[in-house]
Amino acid sequence: MSRKGIAGVAAWLAFAALTVLVVVGHGAPLAPDRGLHAWSLAHRPSSAAAVARGLTDTGTGVVPYALVVLAGVVAGRTRRQRGTAVLLALGCLVLGQVVRYGVMALVGRARPPRADWQALASGWSYPSGHTTTSALTAGLLIAALYLRSPRGRGVLMALAACWAVAVGLTRVFLGVHWFTDVVGGWLFAVGWLGVCGAVAARRLPGRPGPGAPGPGSAGPSDVAEGPLERDATEHPRRRGGVRPA
């Protein structure tokens, strides 16, 4: 099994274990939940809350879907491949949302007290929707950038990852989620991306290997069939000279 496959399986196992803890505890906040929630309430000036609301809003709605379409465009080489990649990326996000909603309804965990909220929220708490959506989106962007290896991809991949992490943390900072809701969203996203990656591997070309020819490099058909002149044995008759008597 590849490292990506191992990471996906590990994420699902960790998600399952965390879900069991939440269900067994009847949705009650765990120790990290209570500590970080209390810290957020004590360190939440209005200016910081406004910035957090602006950032958290990018984790849902139009922004993630636009970024997922962009990821599909980047992933494909030809027009047909780009269309396929866009459909696969959108399918990954949409189906991931459907599965998350199912888990959320089954667990039925209550959110923190409404009096502590600094943003609008609806539905059950576990796993966090904004967190899952932004993590799935970031994962698809990172996969597309890794697949095509554009210049400066490391910085872009880091920005995508930091954005997803920041969106998740704003949910705790704004008091609308417990920290374990956010962790659950991250774990679910990693596991779901592993599933989608296995499906996409059958539809999209893989990343070129170290020995693969790059753009502008000579392929097998470009190699001269005969030896180069400098490697040929010099013969007087081939060079037009007269053989000595």
Give the pLDDT band (50/70/90) at residue 199.
Answer: confident
The answer to whether position 234 is within a domain reads no
The answer to whether position 241 is within a domain reads no
Give the pLDDT band (50/70/90) at residue 203.
Answer: low
Amino acid at 189: A
- CA-based end-to-end distance of the chain: 73
The answer to whether position 133 is within a domain reads yes
The answer to whether position 230 is within a domain reads no
Domain count, the chain: 1
The answer to whether position 208 is within a domain reads no
Give the pLDDT band (50/70/90) at residue 13.
Answer: very high
Between these two residues, 151 and 190, which has the higher pLDDT value?
Answer: 190
Domain encompassing residue 182: 3-203
The answer to whether position 235 is within a domain reads no
Rounded percentage of the chain residues whose pLDDT exceeds 70 = 82
The answer to whether position 210 is within a domain reads no
pTM of the predicted model, to two decimals? Answer: 0.81
The answer to whether position 239 is within a domain reads no
Match 């965990």 to its residue by tokens. Answer: 109
pLDDT digits (tens, 9 = 90+) for 112-137: 999 999 999 999 999 999 999 999 99
* 18 CB-near residues (< 8 Å, 6+ apart): 180, 183, 184, 187
Give the pLDDT band (50/70/90) at residue 147.
Answer: confident
What is the C-alpha to C-alpha distance for residues 163 and 109, in angstroms, rounded to an integer? 26
Above 60 in pLDDT, residue 194?
yes
The chain-wide mean pLDDT, for the chain, equals: 86
Rounded percentage of the chain residues whose pLDDT exceeds 90 = 72
Above 60 in pLDDT, residue 214?
no
